[in-house]
Amino acid sequence: MKYKFLIILSLITSQSFSQTGPLIHFGSEEGMTITTGGIVHADGLSITPTEDITLSNTTLTRVSASTAKLSNQVSRAYQFSNPSASFSGSMDMNYSDSELNGLTEQDLQLFIFNPSKWYRQATQADVTNNSLSSSISRLSLSEITSAVFMPNLILTASSIAENSPLGSKVIDLVGTDENVMGEQFTYSLVAGTGATDNASFKVSGSELQTNTALDFETKKAYSVRLRVTDAYGRFDEKALSITITDVNETPSAMAITKSNLYESNTINQVVGALSTTDQDAGDSHTYSLVSGVGSTDNTAFNVSGNQIRASQVFSSATKNSYSIRVRTTDKGGLSFEKVYTVSISQLPTLTGTGNEYGTKLQAVASTTPKISKGFTSKLNVSGIDMASYTWSPSASLSSVNIYNPVAKPSQTQSYSVTVTNVYGSSTTLSITVEVMEDFNIVAYNILTPNGDGVNDKWEIENLSSYPNNQLIILDRSSRVIYRKSVYTNDWTGLFNGAPLPSDTYYYILTLDSSGKKVSKKGFITIVY
């Protein structure tokens, strides 16, 4: 049910209760004088009244309305402006029973603030909850220590830059209520929901300040719980989220993949690649050679992107150590400098062994080795500070990752090896092994086919290099006792399936290679 109350206002003289912008609170709709800027509170209503207050004197204009907190209830506040003089008259206010939330009419009280004192309406019982109207002929006020409005903690969105000094202000703390203007509040950090990071901050007076080093890259947001307390111990608490803003920080270190180069380099060959250590995630950097201590040899090098490159061809015999000064600059213009020593390494030497033409005599290792077809050449890389090797092609090599593989090419073959030193620099060397078609074979002249595993078959060394061959063996009477094309070292001294007697026999071996034919002749002695 909805009720309407008509209130007859009684005059409160402006001499008794006058100030600029006084706070005037009414609950039982008492009579009052409203001066310029007056504020009226209808205290005790649990929700907003269904209808606003209506004034019978139209010279008073309500200019704003807000909600204030009174204990645990909600109040509707009205402010009036521009009355020409003190006013007394009548006000009407409509509200529903449910809005009283179980309160009786005498629980709705009047509060008035004089410049130095609070006054409250004495308890009255002449207005009951179900009365349709009521009139009060006079006010009965008594002084009290304070009104019962609860404080309100006002927190603004907050952020602070990383690396701010300890004790830096995050925000000003502001408390407010509808009590005496200038009321003093105290502020504190308290436990509860949102108090996760209280230890990282502190309260100094009405400021929230930092109490630990803040680093955006480590933690980007903090949560604290704050309390405002008024002079009477009443308080309000709220959680506050604090955002840490990223600040461009100076690069702290610079590194290079290597600062070494093999001599006899090419122009713009890469010496090493640079990288920067920076607290700012995702920051980009540029690099340059700069003057200063350690920049003696800057002109011998250049920078492209993040690479240090050679601007000249170096010789370790002339000079093997150079000094450069490098700067890294982030996208915000902050920089870091470092001096590097660039070392020049002597080139390794690549040689291979060979043999004398048509013989088994070993030739001195050289950069132009020659071997008979079917023979081998031991390749060898020699130098200092070598760490790894990669040979190609891999065919006809005993290994591709050692410094001295054995090569056995069937024809003239070039090999290359990439040598990487302990500094990470690489160089590639090449060598050609010449294969000589000198029909360099050696036939054994003894055959002892007695089954002891030694000389049981007649062998010719290196015959596999000349598979296109024909063998004829004759006895003393020039009778052919053995004939075979593509001999494979398998004759055991048999003729027509029977062992030949101990004697000396004569052989003719014809070799055909690359269209060239050569005959090799000699004697075989069979011994049992």
pLDDT (tens digit per residue) in 328-345:
999 999 999 999 999 999
Phi/psi region, residue 316 (left: phi>0; alpha: psi -120 to 50; beta: rest), is alpha
Rounded distance between C-alpha atoms, residue 516 and residue 257, angstroms: 56
pLDDT value at position 61? 42
Q: Which of 122-136, 150-164, 401-415, 480-494 has the lowest mean pLDDT?
A: 122-136
- Cβ atoms < 10 Å from Cβ of 186: 15
From 379, 362, 265, 238, select the one nearest 322 (Cα to Cα): 265
More confident residue, 464 or 31: 464
Categorize the per-residue pLDDT at 234 as very low, low, confident or very high, splitting at 50, 70 and 90: confident
pLDDT value at position 182? 57
More confident residue, 379 or 21: 379
Q: Which of 19-28, 145-154, 248-257 has the lowest mean pLDDT?
A: 19-28
Mean pLDDT of 405-414: 97
From 313, 208, 203, 209, select the one nearest 262 (Cα to Cα): 313
Rounded distance between C-alpha atoms, residue 80 and residue 314, angstroms: 91
pLDDT of 211 > 50? The answer is yes
User: 204-208 — which CB contacts under 8 Å span 24+ positions?
Assistant: 204/167, 206/172, 206/173, 206/174, 207/169, 207/170, 207/171, 207/172, 207/173, 208/158, 208/169, 208/170, 208/171, 208/173, 208/240
pLDDT of 321 > 50? The answer is yes
pLDDT value at position 287? 98
Cβ contacts of residue 72 below 8 Å, gap of 6+? none
pLDDT of 91 > 50? The answer is no
pLDDT of 326 > 60? The answer is yes
Cα angle, residue 497 at apex, residues 493 and 502 outer, rounded to 5°: 35
Categorize the per-residue pLDDT at 184 as very low, low, confident or very high, splitting at 50, 70 and 90: confident
From 323, 310, 320, 309, select the one nearest 343 (Cα to Cα): 320
pLDDT value at position 177? 65
Beta-strand (E) ranges in 71-107? Answer: 73-81, 90-96
pLDDT digits (tens, 9 = 90+) for 254-291: 999 999 999 999 999 999 999 999 988 889 999 999 99
Cβ contacts of residue 275 below 8 Å, gap of 6+? 254, 255, 256, 257, 306
pLDDT value at position 111? 44
Categorize the per-residue pLDDT at 233 as very low, low, confident or very high, splitting at 50, 70 and 90: confident
Q: How far is CA 70 from CA 33, 131, 147, in A?
A: 23, 24, 9
Mean pLDDT of 94-101: 35
- Name the percent of the chain lying above pLDDT 70: 70
Residue with tokens 């094309």: 485
Mean pLDDT of 489-514: 96
Q: How far is CA 99 from CA 106, 274, 362, 380, 416, in A?
A: 15, 74, 118, 103, 97
From 317, 380, 321, 320, select the one nearest 348 (Cα to Cα): 380
Q: Which amino acid is at 501?
A: P
- Residue 339 — φ and ψ, nearest 5°? -95, 135
Cα angle, residue 329 at apex, residues 327 and 331 outer, rounded to 5°: 170
pLDDT digits (tens, 9 = 90+) for 344-382: 999 999 999 999 999 999 999 999 999 999 999 999 999
Cis preceding-peptide flag for 467 (omega within 30 of 0): no
From 477, 457, 465, 434, select the one nearest 524 (Cα to Cα): 457
Q: Which amino acid is at 133?
A: S
The token pair at 360 is: 């088994």
pLDDT of 117 > 50? The answer is no
pLDDT value at position 521? 96
Categorize the per-residue pLDDT at 305 as very low, low, confident or very high, splitting at 50, 70 and 90: very high
Q: What is the DSSP letter of 458?
A: B
**Residue 466 host element (H or E):** none
3-state secondary structure of 29: coil
The token pair at 188 is: 């504190």
Rounded distance between C-alpha atoms, residue 42 and residue 55, angstroms: 14
pLDDT value at position 183? 66
Q: What is the dihedral of CA 462, 463, 465, 470, to 10 degrees?
A: 160
The token pair at 59 is: 């010279």
The bridge status of strand 73-81 relative to strand 39-42 is antiparallel
Cβ contacts of residue 505 below 8 Å, gap of 6+? 473, 474, 475, 476, 481, 523, 524, 525, 526
- Residue ranges and CATH numbers for the domains of the chain are 2-144 (no CATH), 152-245 (2.60.40.60), 253-345 (2.60.40.60), 349-436 (2.60.40.10), 442-526 (2.60.40)
Rounded distance between C-alpha atoms, residue 199 and residue 194, angstroms: 12
pLDDT value at position 130? 33
- Name the percent of the chain lying above pLDDT 90: 66
Categorize the per-residue pLDDT at 55 as very low, low, confident or very high, splitting at 50, 70 and 90: very low
Q: Which amino acid is at 170?
A: V
The token pair at 177 is: 């209520």
Question: What integer best gives the mean pLDDT of the chain?
Answer: 78
More confident residue, 143 or 58: 143
Categorize the per-residue pLDDT at 34 as very low, low, confident or very high, splitting at 50, 70 and 90: very low
pLDDT value at position 149? 59
Spatial contact of 527 and 446, defined as CB atoms under 8 Å apart: yes
pLDDT value at position 178? 53
pLDDT value at position 18? 28
pLDDT value at position 40? 43
pLDDT of 101 > 70? The answer is no
Q: Which of 102-116, 198-212, 289-303, 393-407 has the lowest mean pLDDT?
A: 102-116
pLDDT value at position 151? 77
Burial of 89 per CB tally in 10 Å (0-12, 13-18, 19+) = middle
Categorize the per-residue pLDDT at 45 as very low, low, confident or very high, splitting at 50, 70 and 90: very low
pLDDT value at position 511? 97
